[in-house]
A and B are shown apart, each in its own frame.
Chain A
Amino acid sequence: MGGAKRKRLWGSLFVNGTLLLLVIIWTIPTLGIFVSSFRDRQQIASSGWWKVLPHRDWLVTERIDPRAEGLDSDGVMTVRGVSGTFEEFRTGLTTAEGDARLIWIGNRRVGRIEIQEYKWTTAANFSLDNYRQVLGGQSFTFTKADGTTEVVPGDNMTRAFLNSLAVSVPATVIPILIAAFAAYAFAWMQFPARKLMFIMVIALLVVPLQIALVPILRDFTLLKLNGTFLAIWLAHTGFGLALATYLLFNYISGLPREMLESAFIDGASHFTVFTKLVLPLSLPALASFAIFQFLWVWNDYLVALVFLGGNPDFELVTQRMAAIVGSRGSDWHLLTAGAFVSMVLPLAVFFGLQRYFVRGLLAGSVKG
């Protein structure tokens, strides 16, 4: 009995241990960005984000001006009982007790000596400066640690954020609306070419949207639509419609037949049945697809790049972020904060509506 118990304990330890390891590996990338977004520019550039955790490091406890002490940097110098040449001080000398280190900072003529101690520390002073800079449209005055100020251009993520919202909401609701009508017709109406049309919907499920970009761009150029919200609403409606129709059909065709039939016997029209009965009943399916499509549109980069590419006024968060990567790829204080701004809404939707999202995934499908 005892053996079986121990075996089970080891089993559980193995299961939970492996799981924990995977969860840590999966979480660390996001955590790194999140923590970094609150650290200031110098800190991000000079130390890794994990330094916010308590760790031991050399900390400056005292600065000595060698000239004030009358030290000759060309000969042997003695400071706090430690002697050595300039070269030795430059690489660092340890005190006899071994608890402190003396190090020459700067060049031979105007440099200084620092006394550093190896102590527990954290690099955890956080601020919202990065967010202010990345969200602001105007330039941002940045005060450095030494008191001087520097003006850096802002990144206008607020505008991009609003643009993304103006694109995502209609590009989510419009296809759902159109698809719900179509799904209802496929499920509960009889008309010529019904099966043929549905086969078309299924065939188009996996068609890569790349196939449409060049021809549709030609149409939009002809209609003078390039660089407008309307263009991208239409594009996302077109690209999301097949999946929306298919998923909603699966749900709507499974609604109880008796309920709809009794409504028709009572003299209700198709439109009434659809709006008063089918739509409210299909709410879970509508919500699932809505989350799906919203995340897809919000996170999309390619469609935005092709149809909104030329117009900076209508830039979306993904485009804005990619532009920052391109132009200021090493400004990690901007990139980390910006990345988080772009992620905040999807993450909120994700955590708030995870149940529906999972249900949408389980409805199972492939999107072009």
Chain B
Amino acid sequence: MNLVTAGGKEDQSLMGRALAFVLRIGLALAIPVIAFYVLYLGFVFLRDSGAPRTVITLVAIVWGVGGVAGLFWIFNNLVEQLPVQWTNRLQPFVFVGPAIAILAWFLAIPVLRSFWISLFDRTGPPMDATFIQALGSDRFVGLANYAAVFTEAVMLEAFRNNIMWIVFGSTFSVVFGLLVAVLADRSAFERIAKSLIFLPMAISFVGASIIWKFIYEFRPAGQSQVGLLNYIVTEMGGIPRAWAQWVDIAPWNNLFLIVIVIWLQAGFAMVLFSAALKGIPDDLMEAGRIDGANEFQIFFRIMIPYIQGTLITVWTTIIIFTLKIFDVVWVMTGGQFGTHVIATQFYRQSFTASNMGYGSAIALVLLIAVIPVMIYNLRQFREQEAF
């Protein structure tokens, strides 16, 4: 990949290197900053204009997309006007700079900032104080927020619920996904069956919540039930209930929410498993059959080991997903009836109760929970020799 050595010898002087360093950083920042400013002007125009909504929408789209594309073009042209050696030094940063700058602003630096905020009380660190002043201010509470996160009853309830989400949500998504993948592989209706199971993937959590709220819709006994579940239950002689709000069986009422995510995610698991199963060589299966293995033995002794890698990927993906689950709980119960999870507590603390320090501490806990996956990803990357 050493395509960019054609530009001749590098200028080794200290001045040259220092200048290159400054220019590279400058370029990386210039595009996002100018893009931001141009977009900001456009936004002000849109906000103040009384144009019909369709026009505003259209302008917003053209402005946003065109603005960014135009900037890349302009900056690249500027850099290409420079002497070849400087073009080669700086051009990569025109390409890669904006992405790195934005990632730094939106994800990398916030990790540190959230940690910093989490060391303070509900108002967060004082805005205009220096580092030392902030540490000395009475808003600084050290690790007290973390102590609270791990001891308060509401948080412990959220942790318990999240563990339920992770265990049941991921397991059943994987089981159903695998079941459908295996069955569809042997069926003549593979395409249509897979499409229909996969369809919920396109539906938002809010939409899915409404769909399931309708299924759980509750009318007092004696009235005609319009919710499917209560209809079935009453037809079979049972008592209608508001299932997700059924506190008597807490924490098991969480299962009625978890079902929603299983419904959404099984399709995702199915698609990945289906592709993995198709990769199993036919002669491997045939050899198993000739040796007299039955279908279950083939499934557990050949298929499962063969798709192990995919199994781990899918499982971790859904675990991370259920770890951060927010919308379903927020729309279905708002966290009442013993259904709070970490992400709803994070939202409630950060934005409803405006307790910035506490909210940030919860966010950090979420981050810590995904660190093993991050390390696994980085290790996988290091094993690839190609980079």
- The chain A residues found within 8 Å of chain B, CB to CB, are 11-12, 15-16, 18-20, 22-23, 26-30, 32-33, 36, 44-50, 158-159, 162-163, 165-166, 169-170, 173-174, 177-179, 181-182, 184-192, 194-195, 197-216, 218-219, 223, 225, 228-230, 233-235, 237-239, 241-242, 245, 253, 260-261, 264, 269-271, 274, 295, 298-302, 305-306, 309, 317-318, 321-322, 325, 329, 332, 335-336, 338-339, 342-343, 346-347, 349-351, 354, 358, 361-362, 364-366, 368
Contacts and interface: CB of A to CB of B under 8 A. Distances in A.
B272 A210 contact: no
Of the four ranges (under 10, 10 to 19, 20 to 34, 35 or more), the interface on chain B belongs to 35 or more
Interface in B186-204: 186-189, 193, 195-204
A364 B189 CA distance: 26
Given A214-B356, A271-B80, 20 more contacts: A26-B199, A162-B54, A163-B57, A177-B72, A178-B68, A179-B99, A188-B3, A189-B4, A189-B92, A194-B92, A197-B96, A200-B103, A204-B103, A210-B363, A214-B114, A229-B43, A234-B36, A274-B95, A302-B326, A309-B351
Nearest to A365: B317
A211 B92 contact: no
B57 A166 contact: yes
Contacts of A338: 210
24 contacts: A19-B184, A19-B193, A26-B196, A26-B266, A29-B263, A33-B214, A159-B53, A162-B56, A162-B57, A166-B61, A170-B61, A174-B68, A182-B95, A191-B96, A203-B377, A211-B114, A211-B366, A225-B40, A234-B102, A241-B103, A318-B206, A358-B275, A365-B317, A366-B320
B148 interface: no
Contacts, number: 364
Interface of B: 1-6, 24, 36, 39-40, 42-43, 46-47, 53-54, 56-57, 60-61, 64-65, 68-69, 72, 76, 80, 89, 91-96, 98-100, 102-111, 113-114, 117, 124, 176, 179-180, 183-184, 186-189, 193, 195-207, 209-215, 217, 224-228, 231, 263, 266, 268, 271-272, 275, 295, 313, 316-317, 320, 323-324, 326-327, 330-331, 343, 346-347, 350-351, 356, 359-360, 362-364, 366-367, 370, 373-374, 377-378, 381, 386-387
Nearest to B41: A230
Given A177-B68, A238-B102, A22 B350 contact: no
Contact of B64 (A159, A185, A233, A302): A233
Contacts of A211: 107, 110-111, 114, 363-364, 366-367
Contact of B95 (A12, A32, A270): A270
A101 B267 CA distance: 49
A18 B68 CA distance: 51
Contact of A30 (B104, B111, B200, B386): B200
Given A204-B108, A234-B36, A299-B203, A210 B324 contact: yes
Contact of A230 (B40, B99, B202): B40
B215 A215 contact: no
A202 B215 contact: no
A343 B214 CA distance: 16
Contacts of B80: 269, 271
Contacts of A29: 211-212, 214-215, 263
A239 B202 contact: no
A210 B349 CA distance: 12
Contacts of A33: 210-211, 214
Given A32-B215, A169-B61, A342-B207, A206 B189 contact: no
B387 A195 contact: yes
A361 B273 CA distance: 11
Which 9 A-B pairs rank lowest in CB-CB distance, beginning with the nearest? A238-B106, A170-B64, A299-B204, A182-B99, A185-B95, A350-B202, A191-B92, A212-B110, A185-B96
Nearest to A174: B68
B369 to A, nearest CB: 8
A350 B206 contact: no
A268 to B, nearest CB: 11
B107 A212 contact: yes
A14 to B, nearest CB: 9
Contact of B211 (A30, A184, A187, A270): A30
Nearest to A324: B210
Contacts of B96: 181-182, 185-186, 189, 191, 194, 197
Contacts of A235: 106
A189 B95 contact: yes
Contact of B43 (A174, A212, A230): A230
A235 B180 CA distance: 36
A185 B360 CA distance: 34
B92 A190 contact: yes
Contacts of A300: 204
A77 to B, nearest CB: 26
A275 to B, nearest CB: 9
Contact of B197 (A16, A26, A28, A177): A26
Given A362-B271, A364-B272, A178 B195 contact: no
Contact of B65 (A22, A177, A216, A325): A177
Given A22-B176, A204-B103, A366-B317, A189 B36 contact: no
B370 A208 contact: yes
A205 to B, nearest CB: 6
A159 B56 CA distance: 11
B210 A325 contact: yes
Given A19-B183, A211-B363, A206 B378 contact: no
A160 to B, nearest CB: 10
Nearest to A210: B363
A298 B204 contact: yes
B367 A208 contact: yes
B68 to A, nearest CB: 5
A335 B56 contact: no
A365 B377 CA distance: 10
Given A15-B187, A302-B347, A36 B64 contact: no
Contacts of B187: 12, 15-16, 19
A325 B91 contact: no
A174 B370 CA distance: 27
A170 to B, nearest CB: 3
A245 B36 CA distance: 20
